[in-house]
Structure 1
């Protein structure tokens, strides 16, 4: 806007000076010619005609006239120069003569001197309203141009953001167009390459995990078979069977943690029925006491196998670490209800135990892979992937996981899942 105002002022200056000077010269020349060639008896009517129709007044120039300086206008020096070149160097200018304001120019007819007064409105440039109108037009055009440029810049960034969000949700985004500015082309090309690399990593991981499953579990099965056939005492046999079962469980945890959750397989799941099945299975375990408050017929979008694994991991985590202090019993409370949130209604799943809990400053460590809070939750065997698997699956289901200590002792785990449409 500042550049535009300066440019208009610069471009307008020359034409306005020339136009104003030519107007003054023309008016003075025509008026002088009319007075010179008119009959003396008709001059009074001529002067009245000039005043009434053209706004031009003629006064005799007296030496005693009170004359003010010319109008204080940045264009005035150039106007004076052009007018004096045409009308003579003795031409005078004034903004007020005898207390009457106007644009005053002197001229001579033979030896007589006169003042010619023009109304200032005829010599003014752009008015404030005109400047405001032009400024509004240019401002609107500038905003439209800025909006167009902004959209051209933001559209590739919006595509990149949407594609990154799809990757975070476990989806494979469509390749980004490699066109536009150099920076956008480089960013999109690098992003597309990253997506391909991630896909290759996923494929390689699937192959490696399949190999691990085959290469490790086959020897474990052989060891289990040889153990059954070996002549060993009951104590030694049970110890080795426990070790083999533990290794098999750890391998299963690795596979569960690395297994991707495909969002394309999501369907409406009766989470109420799934929780009830898991609770009944938990009640059959020795030393388990389960209390349920499960709302009926609540549906969520997800993968039934993965959600069942999540619930079972939470129950197993509570069974291992949540024994009520001073007893051999593990008390678990499982609840399900619909809760309004800022993102709409959510299915709120809660699994709570009455164990020793976890120190508040170590709760965040629970969700990290290969982490066990042995000091707070008791000694246990495993790879420390139970809650890490839960966190990984929950995030792929666009749900929220919250871990904290319950009042009165024990650990409380909450999962808030979007309801199925």
Structure 2
């Protein structure tokens, strides 16, 4: 449920409760007052008319006297009934007199009661007539008068209460909508700014309106965004400086490394003639120079990826031939399944780098036999490199393509630079493909290169 809907429901609920409380209480009080006043007036009017019949005759009343009494007290809108000694007279229907009212009048008290009659609500008032000394005359008088006008007034009050409640509900909903709009506008601005910030737009800010709590939140968000923009800018500047430094150093090292490589090649040719320790030193220098050259070349390649200058030199190649040449040139002893006739538009140099890094990693960190399998699956070129070693630990899998990450980092030093798999992953991404590391069910690591064929990228 949205915040806007919750606010509207809250206002609606409050208005309903308020309308019911106020209009309901007013309706009940007004209804009781109207009914009570009507009953009091009816009793007073009946009592006044009866008092006009005093003094009563001394002889016991007969049917004619009772008829005269009923006619005097009935009034224009009602009817009356007079009873004495089991004799009754008058135009009133005696069935409307309830036992409760009859017993109350027999006890000498004035009673009244609302009863349904002739499709409406009528009021029955009953009392005893008194003699001059205050004693009971034995004559009971009942007056039936319509209560319709009072009921109509009460019904009108009820309708007005409903109308007032409905109008209050509509007004509350309108006020709730306006309030929700005013409250949610800063929230909406904050949400949009947060979304832009999450998308990388560090210039996103929220307009500050007023001095309430939402304005305080907007101010805090703006200060946080400004601080984040500053820190991210510093990190980007430092990262750019670091990349530029690595690129500069790598390029500067190429010239002395070329000279060192030439010297070590000469030393390597003469190692057989050198004494034992000198020969070992010459071979060590040659090996380390080659490792350093490979590291510098990898660093230069990485800086190309980071700067966005790495580009593909696409060519229509026989993939099996490119992979076979990679394995043959490096002397890799693997089991290769390379069906002929698989052609794709790729960068052969970068495909060579991917396969060389994957197979070299499998030979260094896995166990033989290592297999290379080429296939086409769902319009994609698939190259799988698998070894028979213990596989990759679960905590290594998420980081296997990270730069400078080594699964055997506990050792003091390893032959790899920690960039080979990262470069292979970048080259796969550059082709619009994927490179995935996993463990085979039977044991061993499995690296799967998947590159879309031409027209599928």
Is residue 2:290 matched to residue 1:245? Answer: yes
**Distance (Å, rounded) in 2 between the aligned partners of 1:391 and 1:232:** 36
1:222 is aligned, of 256, 274, 277, to: 256
Q: Which has the larger radius of gyration?
A: 2
C-alpha distance in structure 1 between counterparts of 2:251 and 2:403, whole Å: 22
How far the C-alpha of 1:287 sits from its partner, in A, is: 2.8
Q: Corresponding residue for 2:236?
A: 202
Taking the aligned partners of 2:311 and 2:262, their CA distance within structure 1 comes to: 43
Partner of 1:291: 338
CA distance in 2, matches of 1:380, 1:5: 77
2:23 aligned to which of 3, 12, 33: 12
Q: Which runs of 5+ in 1 are unaligned?
A: 49-57, 69-89, 168-172, 299-303, 340-346
User: Match of 1:344?
Assistant: none
The corresponding residue for 1:80 is none
2:387–2:445 CA contact under 8 A, matched in 1: yes
Instruction: Pick closer, same or farther for the CA change 1:60–1:271 going to 2, 3 Å.
Output: farther
- Tell me how far 1:390 sits from its aligned partner: 5.6
1:172-194: per-residue Cα shift (whole Å, max 9, x none)? Answer: x2621322533244234423542
Change (3 A) 1:318 1:201: same
Structure 2 Cα separation of the partners of residues 183 and 155 of structure 1: 11
| Aligned-pair CA distance for 1:136 | 8.9
CA distance in 2, matches of 1:383, 1:223: 17
User: Is 1:356 aligned to residue 389 of structure 2?
Assistant: yes
Say which SS state the counterpart of residue 437 (structure 2) adopts.
strand
Matched, 1:232 2:267: yes
Q: Aligned partners of 2:313 and 2:178: how far apart in 1?
A: 50
Aligned equivalents of 1:195, 1:95: Cα separation in 2: 81
Higher alpha-carbon deviation: 231-240 or 288-297: 288-297
Q: SS where residue 218 of structure 1 aligns?
A: helix
TM-score, normalised via structure 1 length: 0.58
* 8 Å CA contact 2:390, 2:443 repeated in 1: yes
2:175 & 2:324 partners in 1: Cα distance? 68
The aligned counterpart of 1:123 is 154
Counterpart-to-counterpart distance in 2, 1:96 and 1:274 = 107
What aligned pairs does 1:379-390 form with structure 2 within 5 A after superposition? 381-388=415-422
- What is the rounded CA distance, in whole Å, between the counterparts of 1:139 and 1:272 in structure 2? 72
Q: Which residue of 2 aligns with 1:321?
A: 361
Q: Give deviations 1:115-146, integer Å, cap 9, x for gaps.
A: 55646686364799999978996997799679
Count the aligned residue pairs: 362
SS across alignment from 1:404: strand
Cα distance in 1 for partners of 2:367, 2:329 equals 19
Q: Distance between the aligned counterparts of 2:341 and 2:166, measured in 1?
A: 68
Aligned to 1:84: none
Aligned pair partner of 2:203 in 175, 197, 220: 175
CA contact (8 A) 1:272 1:295 kept: no
- Which residue, out of 296, 320, 331, partners 2:371? 331
Structure 1, 356-365 or 121-130: larger mean CA deviation: 121-130
Question: Could you report, residue by residue, the CA deviation over 1:353-374 in whole angstroms, capped at 9, with x for unpaired residues?
Answer: 3342524445425345433334
RMSD: 6.0
